[in-house]
Amino acid sequence: SAVISQKPSRDICQRGTSLTIQCQVDSQVTMMFWYRQQPGQSLTLIATANQGSEATYESGFVIDKFPISRPNLTFSTLTVSNMSPEDSSIYLCSVEDALGQPQHFGDGTRLSIL
Amino acid sequence: QKEVEQDPGPLSVPEGAIVSLNCTYSNSAFQYFMWYRQYSRKGPELLMYTYSSGNKEDGRFTAQVDKSSKYISLFIRDSQPSDSATYLCAMSARGGTSYGKLTFGQGTILTVHP
């Protein structure tokens, strides 16, 4: 299965700033997704990153807060904008590859906002 | 009511025990069922996935699905301390070629003590 690398692995940020998280895959994949895992809670899908077009956001998530790019089949970024303490979470990238298996996940970015 | 319910535990068992992890769901559109294992500070790792009602076995792991009852289980035989992790069930309605959005349970924290 595809190997997924996320950067940064963790960060501590100030309120009101923005952070861009990168997801790099070692092979071309058909689908890429961004999830959020809040402390003590399960994973929630933020959006599907579409190659060459705007991401598809889930209910409760908007582009102004979580802009996403996917310029090619191996790379995507998620920006968390104008951060507040409520944005403290683990943000995870996942992919579906050509093998037809369900999504594989990166190790996530652990984000704390002060 | 959450679409997927999973007992968060924690569950503590002795080495060698049989472990049963369970999820219930309310959305009849869910067709694919997955189990992920998540170690501390790591991303979820796909353990098993299945489509049909019935049992699917892979080594010490057995996934069981009962669509009529909207109930899925994961059994771990001869549990080992290395099985200590959080286990997440996930489900997909899957339309077309992609599994799309995965809806996760809350996760069950399992500790296997020597």
Mean pLDDT of B20-37: 95
Q: Give the A:B interface size as CB pairs under 8 Å.
A: 55
Q: What pLDDT score was predicted for residue B52? A: 82
Q: What pLDDT score was predicted for residue B46? A: 95
Q: What is the pLDDT of residues B56-71, one digit of tens each?
A: 999 999 999 999 999 9
* Chain B residue with minimum CA distance to A97: B98
Residue B51 has pLDDT above 90, yes or no: no
| CA–CA min distance B46, chain A (Å) | 7
Q: What pLDDT score was predicted for residue B2? A: 86
Collect all residues with Cβ–Cβ distance below 8 Å to A15 and sequence separation of at least 6: A83, A84, A85, A113, A114
Q: What is the pLDDT of residues B88-104, one digit of tens each?
A: 999 999 877 788 899 99
Q: What is the dihedral of CA B75, B79, B80, B84, to 10 degrees?
A: 50
Q: Tell me how far apart the alpha carbons of residues A23 and A79 are, in angstroms, rounded to a whole number.
A: 11
Q: What pLDDT score was predicted for residue A110? A: 97
Q: Which residue of B104, B106, B109 to mutate against A (max A Cβ within 10 Å)?
A: B104
Residue A1 has pLDDT above 80, yes or no: no
Q: What is the pLDDT of residues A39-84, one digit of tens each?
A: 888 899 999 998 888 999 999 999 999 999 999 999 999 999 999 9
Considering only CB atoms, B102 lies closest to which of A101, A103, A110, namely A103
Q: What pLDDT score was predicted for residue A23? A: 98
- Do B43 and A108 count as a contact with CB atoms less than 8 A apart? yes
For chain B, which residues lie within 8 Å of any Cβ of chain A, measuring from their own Cβ?
6, 32, 34, 36, 41-46, 49, 88, 90, 92, 97-102, 104-107
b/e code B54-75 from CB counts within 10 Å (16+ = b): eeeeeeebbbbbebeebebbbb
Q: Are A66 and A77 in contact (CB under 8 A)?
A: no
Q: What is the pLDDT of residues A74-84, one digit of tens each?
A: 999 999 999 99
Question: Percent of chain A beyond pLDDT 70?
Answer: 100
